[in-house]
Amino acid sequence: MTTAPETAFIYSERYQQFDYGPDHPLRNTRLALTYELCQTCGLLSLPGTRLVEARDATEEEVIAFHRPDYVEVFRAADRGQAPPNLWDYGLGTSDNPIFPGVYAWSLLSTGASLLAMELVDSGQVACAFNIAGGLHHAAAARAAGFCYFNDAAVIIKHLVRRGRRVAYVDIDAHHGDGVQFGFYDTDRVLTLSIHESGESLFPGTGFVEEIGRGRGIGYAVNVPLLAGSDDEIFLWALDQVVPPLLTAFNPDVVVTQLGADTHRTDPLTNLALTTNGFAEAVRRLRPLCRKWIALGGGGYNLENVPRSWALAWAIMNQREVQDELPESLRATFQRLGFRPSRIRDDPYIAEASTREQAWRFVREQIHRLQKLVFPLHGM
């Protein structure tokens, strides 16, 4: 019998103190729902599992990736002292509003990822999951796409400074642009992103031809998918690219961004995955991650996110989660206007013509990628 790895679930009730605003798509309620579902299913009291209180990042830790002038402007805006060039830094927009406590929220979500990094890199646990992390769009000096501090890029920068080789695997529906371009010219970080094509979705990047620059050529890898791509298409694409490249790169640490907005009912995206497909993607990543820092990410349907991340956390602990949604959670979901009864979805296959186009597109992308990138890794 295989022994499950030591794992850590990073969480804080302080997450619920922060709110992007009533009309903003990103709701921190999804974090509390995920915690409640994992707890009710007994997934936070497993042998070898730690529930760890999140900590705040320091400005010094954040500046490892973010420019000091950006941090200074962001802090001033949070204090009501916004400079006239606030928008130059992507701040104060409808996507990235200056809501009460936004700076403290960003330090907390980033600190939670730094804590996950410390636990994994020190060998205290084999896997740590920060569901509040994965804010992958922020650049070194610009907020973007609901993201103020790029926690993934911050922890990768710290790991590289420690001499680690890092692989970053992003399965969010949106391209992980902030992380990719943050490490675009280094061969110490391999970034892999499977996402809806930038032709139809923000941020409009993540094409196969984006393969890095200078020493980083071949270390940025993108698999864009057509809108309507379902579980089978997504998993096929993952299998063609992620295992062979991770094996060739042989990272010391793997950081994964597990955005749940690939779901077919997500209001902001156009892929067609189910919770089953999402869980299977995580299951296929698990044996590739000897040291695994898992981060949350997107997900804008409150019914989907906790179900997806509870399944992911169960897989990280080599456990199967019950199929029936606990009664207490059903009542909570109903108060929010949702009526799920099960954690796993019914199978779904996209409509025939959509599926045919999506298959043709993904095969073309993989073929181009294998010609462009694989030879650079001796494949």
**Helix/strand/coil for 101:** coil
> Can you tell me the distance from the alpha carbon of 85 to that of 83, in angstroms, rounded to the nearest whole number?
5
Looking up tokens 């990103």, which residue turns up?
Answer: 26
The catalytic position among 137, 174, 195, 263 is 137
Laid out side by side, the sheet with 292-295 consists of 49-53, 7-11, 127-130, 292-295, 253-257, 166-170, 189-196, 220-225
> Can you tell me the distance from the alpha carbon of 278 to that of 212, in angstroms, rounded to the nearest whole number?
27
**Closest among 1, 19, 13, 37 to 303, alpha carbons compared:** 37
DSSP run (H or E) holding 54: none
**Closest among 250, 193, 203, 255 to 225, alpha carbons compared:** 193
Task: Please return the burial class of 322, using the count of CB atoms within 10 Å of its CB with bins 0-12, 13-18 and 19+.
Answer: middle
**Closest among 344, 314, 328, 313 to 131, alpha carbons compared:** 313
Largest CA distance in the chain: 62
CB 48 within 8 A of CB 4: yes
137 part of the active site? yes
User: What is the CB neighbour count within 10 angstroms for residue 364?
Assistant: 11
> Can you tell me the distance from the alpha carbon of 97 to that of 91, in angstroms, rounded to the nearest whole number?
6
> Can you tell me the distance from the alpha carbon of 229 to that of 270, in angstroms, rounded to the nearest whole number?
8
**Which two three-digit tokens encode residue 126?**
């084999």
CB 135 within 8 A of CB 150: yes
Residues 6+ apart with CB under 8 A from 358: 225, 226, 227, 228, 229, 230, 233, 350
Q: Which residues are catalytic?
A: 137
